[in-house]
């Protein structure tokens, strides 16, 4: 089932506590590093998936989703769109509840297959700005993560222009 509404995304962010990050990076300049870092800071357990690394952000890294011994709530994908159908199959096989494709990643094939298998699917969105938009109280935590950078508010503003306004309870 494709999730595009605020209530659905908010529910995913509130309930998915263990998140596998496919394509997780050791490079702090890449979204595939700082997105999982924020998810950690917001209370999620991240499990990096990258066959080139042994540990990222203090967590053991796995070569594939199928190698992870623990249950996974959400699979967050930092891979090219043409690779997502295979990742979706792995997400289904391990019993994940959500398949999340990052900004600019759209795979209707993967979304259809994952949805048919009962997974919730989010495409072309990033959990970080969704957190900032749906849980505005998390903005100071995010800005404190990167005190040396000035891009944070610009990223927030651009995302909100493209995906909606801040939602307060």
pLDDT number for residue 136: 75
pLDDT number for residue 128: 84
pLDDT number for residue 56: 97
pLDDT number for residue 166: 45
pLDDT number for residue 110: 97
Cα 3 to its chain centre, rounded Å, is 14
Residue ranges in the chain modelled with pLDDT below 50: 148, 150-151, 165-169
pLDDT number for residue 167: 44
pLDDT number for residue 142: 61
pLDDT number for residue 137: 73
Q: Minimal CA–CA distance to 42: which of 70, 3, 15?
A: 15
pLDDT number for residue 156: 57
pLDDT number for residue 168: 40
The CA distance from 43 to 150, in Å, is 25
pLDDT number for residue 151: 45
pLDDT number for residue 153: 55
Indicate the class that CATH gives domain 6-163: alpha beta
Reported as type and span, the H/E element at residue 36 is: helix 31-41
- DSSP code at position 143: H
The CA distance from 142 to 43, in Å, is 13
Q: Is 49 helix (H, G, I), strand (E, B) or coil?
A: strand
């Amino acid at each position: 089932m494709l999730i595009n509404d605020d209530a659905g995304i908010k529910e995913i962010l509130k309930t998915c506590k263990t998140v596998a990050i496919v394509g997780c990076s050791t490079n702090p300049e890449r979204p595939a590093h700082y997105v999982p870092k924020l998810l950690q800071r917001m209370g999620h357990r991240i499990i990096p998936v990258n066959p080139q690394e042994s540990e990222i952000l203090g967590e053991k890294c796995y070569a594939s989703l199928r190698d992870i011994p623990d249950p996974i709530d959400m699979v967050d994908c930092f891979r090219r769109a043409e690779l997502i159908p295979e990742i979706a199959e792995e997400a289904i096989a391990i019993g994940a509840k959500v398949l999340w494709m990052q900004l600019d990643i759209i795979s209707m094939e993967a979304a259809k297959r994952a949805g048919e298998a009962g997974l919730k699917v989010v495409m072309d969105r990033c959990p970080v700005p969704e957190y900032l938009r749906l849980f505005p109280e998390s903005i100071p935590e995010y800005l404190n993560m990167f005190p040396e950078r000035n891009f944070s508010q610009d990223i927030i503003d651009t995302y909100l222009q493209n995906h909606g306004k801040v939602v307060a309870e």
